[in-house]
Amino acid sequence: MMNRRESLQTIAAGFGAMLGSVMFPEISQAAARLSGGPKRIIFFLQNQGFDPATCIPSGMVNSGSLAGAKLPEPIAALEPFKERLHIINGLHGIHATPSHSAFFGALGGYRGSDGVPPSGPTIDYELSKVLPETMLPHLCIGMDSMENMKAKPTVANLSASGAGQPIFMHSNPNHLYQMLYGGISEGAIRKQHEARSGMFDRIEQLAAANGGGLPMTDAQRYGQFVQGFHDINGLRDRLGGVSDRLRGFAPKVDSRYAQPEFETDWHDALLDLGVSALKSGITSVLTIGSGRGEIFGAWKGLGIDQQGHNLGHMQQPDNPVWIKIRQYNSRMLVKLMQELESVREGSGTMMDNTLIVYTSNNADKQHTSGTNWPVMLLGNCGGIFKSGRFTQLDGKRPINALYSTLLNASGVECDRFNMSEKLAAKFDPGVGPLKELLA
């Protein structure tokens, strides 16, 4: 394990975006990872809330097996995978004040709101430091309306490496493809990749030579900026060094990239890129933000005319609009599982060593108090996590306890995640991992 993890997630789509908005986080020492536990974790967050009635089987009010239950229509695509599914109801995030969205607080377990910077690292980033080393420890992709994805190809709302250090999501599949596979491509993609790489080299050289006279506080931030370009160029070189292996995993560039008919064409392409990054070993942590942690988002490709904030004012249970969105999510979850199941790893498959966490950045609904924060887990990582179950908790433990559980399962002792004793006295009567989730 290296002492320093590369900070590569804040790569913006172009030179102007980089100079204007990218913050390159301070790099922390990687914690030693114990044997066992997940080798990769995927976080999938749908905005506008996750109503428990859209995932809990009808009539099921107490904890128990899913074997004899029928999954609700919105997640019916997961029916063949019930033995790998764990539905959890009764966590809370009151302290995260989610309302329209908890933003960074959804994965950070702290107060979050629109325009409020992260107050600490989020769980996806923390896990990226302790899971097996990869070239790009953490990849974030964000799905939104076509207008938003084109206007803001990178945005930071969900993940962070520390206080005031957001991690950017990639929303333009063309730019993400260039970053991951430009070095092994041909034609226009290769030319664009080489031009951008040459520009990054020159920027790094110029930046490194012109920061010596800055005040100490500015020099530190400037040093992070220079280090960011150094890391970008380092990633390019490392990807080039394994180009033969990457060729077997790069998705085919089709008309969805340059000529999407609907925003869902880009959503699907982004998912393909995320899958390829996992299967090729480029990354071990993938964060998917459908709605990018905000109150926007569109799914015209599903035949849904409504979009953005208005979707949050609709009741989700038995609503044909939300059934379509949740079914779309469920098909994405199925694809993730099937793709990872297709790759052998050790005595099993990649899915045997993977955990998928599906929830919302908005607890159970828009304008929520956060008193209930439903979560679905897929996968058991070799039997570490219970699966094929529904668990009803008493509403006293926060989402932070789930994140502590993930860290403990990954070999890191953690009694509390991002929660002081003072805060825990008010919001968490328990301590340590959730025993209901671990086998």
CA distances for 375 relative to 24, 26, 233, 361, angstroms? 30, 30, 37, 11
Residue 146 lies in a domain: no
User: Locate tokens 């340059």: which residue?
Assistant: 258
pLDDT band with cut points at 50, 70 and 90 for residue 237: low
The reported pLDDT for the residue numbered 137 is 85
Query: String of b and e for 265-280 (b: at least 16 CB within 10 Å)?
Result: bbbbbbbbbbbbbbbb
The reported pLDDT for the residue numbered 247 is 81
Query: pTM of the full predicted structure?
Result: 0.85
CATH number, domain with residue 313: 3.40.720
Are 389 and 299 in the same domain? yes
Q: What is the pLDDT of residues 361-395, one digit of tens each?
A: 999 999 999 999 999 999 999 999 999 999 999 99
Q: What is the dihedral of CA 381, 92, 166, 339, to 10 degrees?
A: 30
Residue 148 lies in a domain: no
Q: What is the pLDDT of residues 252-291, one digit of tens each?
A: 999 999 999 999 999 999 999 999 999 999 999 999 999 9
- Taking alpha carbons only, the member of 49, 54, 55, 57 closest to residue 102 is 49
Give the pair of three-digit tokens for residue 182.
């430009």
pLDDT band with cut points at 50, 70 and 90 for residue 28: very low
On the question of pLDDT at 10 being above 50, the answer is: no
On the question of pLDDT at 225 being above 90, the answer is: no
pLDDT band with cut points at 50, 70 and 90 for residue 182: confident
Range of the domain at 203: 1-30+168-278
Are 24 and 172 in the same domain? yes
On the question of pLDDT at 179 being above 70, the answer is: yes
| Amino acid letter for position 3 | N
- Residue % of the chain over a pLDDT of 70: 78
Average pLDDT over residues 30-59: 83
Residue 256 lies in a domain: yes
**In terms of pLDDT, which residue wins out, 143 or 20?**
143
Range of lowest pLDDT (55-64, 230-239, 332-341): 230-239
Residue 369 lies in a domain: yes
On the question of pLDDT at 55 being above 60, the answer is: yes
The reported pLDDT for the residue numbered 421 is 95
CA separation for the pair 19, 21 (Å, rounded): 6
Are 216 and 268 in the same domain? yes
> SS3 for 209?
helix
Q: What average pLDDT is seen over the chain?
A: 84
On the question of pLDDT at 219 being above 90, the answer is: no
Q: What is the pLDDT of residues 332-367, one digit of tens each?
A: 999 999 999 999 999 999 999 999 999 999 999 999
Residue 152 lies in a domain: no
Average pLDDT over residues 51-72: 97
Are 180 and 63 in the same domain? no
Are 262 and 370 in the same domain? no
On the question of pLDDT at 195 being above 80, the answer is: no
Most confident option among 22-26, 308-312, 319-323: 319-323
Q: Residue 310 is inside which H or E element, if any?
A: helix 309-312
On the question of pLDDT at 228 being above 70, the answer is: no
Residue 420 lies in a domain: no
On the question of pLDDT at 314 being above 50, the answer is: yes
On the question of pLDDT at 16 being above 60, the answer is: no
CA separation for the pair 334, 358 (Å, rounded): 12
The reported pLDDT for the residue numbered 396 is 98
Residue 151 lies in a domain: no
Q: What is the pLDDT of residues 103-118, one digit of tens each?
A: 999 999 999 999 999 9
Among 251, 278, 305, give the residue marking a domain's end. 278
pLDDT band with cut points at 50, 70 and 90 for residue 218: low
On the question of pLDDT at 305 being above 90, the answer is: yes
Query: String of b and e for 212-243 (b: at least 16 CB within 10 Å)?
Result: eeeeeeeeeebbbbbbbbbbbeebbeebeeee
pLDDT band with cut points at 50, 70 and 90 for residue 200: very low
On the question of pLDDT at 58 being above 60, the answer is: yes
**In terms of pLDDT, which residue wins out, 201 or 243?**
243
Are 394 and 355 in the same domain? yes
> CB-based burial of residue 378 (10 Å sphere; 0-12 exposed, 13-18 middle, 19+ buried)?
buried
Residue 421 lies in a domain: no
How many domains does one find in the chain?
A: 2
On the question of pLDDT at 17 being above 60, the answer is: no
Are 191 and 255 in the same domain? yes
**In terms of pLDDT, which residue wins out, 371 or 201?**
371
Are 222 and 370 in the same domain? no
On the question of pLDDT at 194 being above 50, the answer is: no
Among 227, 253, 278, give the residue marking a domain's end. 278
